[in-house]
Amino acid sequence: MNFGYLLVVSKNSQVDYLKLAYALAMSIKNTQKPGYNRVALVTDDVDEVNSLKSPWVFDHVIQWDQETFWDGRSWMDKLSPFDYTVCLDVDMLFFRDYSQWIDYLVRNADIFLPSKVYNYRGQVAEDDFYRKTFRENDLPNLYSLYTFFKKDSDLTDDFFELGRHIIKNPKEFSNIFLEKHKPKVLGTDEALSLSAKILGIEDIITYDLEFLKVVHMKSMLQGWPWPSEKWSDHIGFYFNKSAELKLGNYRQLDIVHYVEKDKVNDEVISVLEELLWKKR
């Protein structure tokens, strides 16, 4: 089985996305079984990858600069070198082996995106704050931060082709399909959700899967009784030398989308590198 994780970055003056991708790749290598731990990186600056201490953590490095920012992710089906791929947001970390999720998805889906995420206490996150566009326009509540797809599939081709078309023509699609609440920016989540709705494939590409859990650390998803801008104002990010993470006093075992990019600092990188080298 030719499976791997795909990470897409581009140079940014404010955030070192390569550093985040590097940390994620190391956490994948440190936790996933062989055969389920390959990582491909799409970047517009291959030279910068070579400046990392362990650039070999990326099994494939693909130079690509046709799009910037998250728009590049809408090309994931064309860029991935794997037959089966999970494309991830790079500000995420892995904490245990999730290979059984991949076994299930390969057997049962051409495309899969989760329709719910969790807070740091393991509860389903109720999103009344960030997803007004989805709610008002009756879009399927897809989270593209974890996107599984099979390359050789007509469904995959149609889904992503339409998604790209939507991203390239945001005003037109917003005016027709999102008139009840237009987003300020039509991002990948909105575009892929709209693509699924237009194609009528919502029930095929997303459904309840209790075991597939991603913790989403946007502050207003944490179920706190007060509004907050940054989750780290209220709970700590405790990453120990075994690369185990506690958020507040909750140990994290599922994939964590930490959102605040400064959480992966030199110390976190150092811990992950040490574990990686010991494992090699």
**176 CB contacts (<8 Å, ≥6 apart)?**
none
CA atoms within 13 A on the CB side of 179: 4
Binding segment (CB under 8 A) for another protein, from list 8-16, 39-47, 79-87, 266-274: 266-274
Region 219-248 residues binding another protein, contact defined as CB under 8 A: 232-236, 238-241, 246
Of 192 and 276, which CB lies nearer to another protein in the complex structure? 276
Q: Which residue bears the tokens 């791997």? A: 4
Using the minimum distance from each CB to another protein, give the nearer residue, 65 or 274: 274
Dist CA 74 CA 189 (whole Å): 10
Burial of 30 (0-12, 13-18, 19+ CB in 10 A): buried
What is the smallest separation between the CB atom of 270 and another protein, expressed in angstroms? 8
**Per CB under 8 A, does 266 bind another protein?**
yes
Site map (CB under 8 A) of another protein, residues 112-151, x = contact: ----------------------------------------
Instruction: Write the interaction track for another protein spanning residues 178-217; mark x where CB under 8 A is met and - where it is not.
Output: ----------------------------------------
**CB of 45: closest distance to another protein in angstroms?**
24
Is there a contact between 222 and 124 (Cβ–Cβ < 8 Å)?
Answer: no
In the chain, count H helices and then E strands: 10, 12
d(CA 227, CA 274): 38
CB within 8 A of 128, min separation 6: which ones? Answer: 135
Of 2 and 265, nearer to another protein (C-beta) is: 265
Closer to another protein by CB, 103 or 267: give it: 267
Residues that bind another protein (CB under 8 A): 232-236, 238-241, 246, 249, 265-267, 270
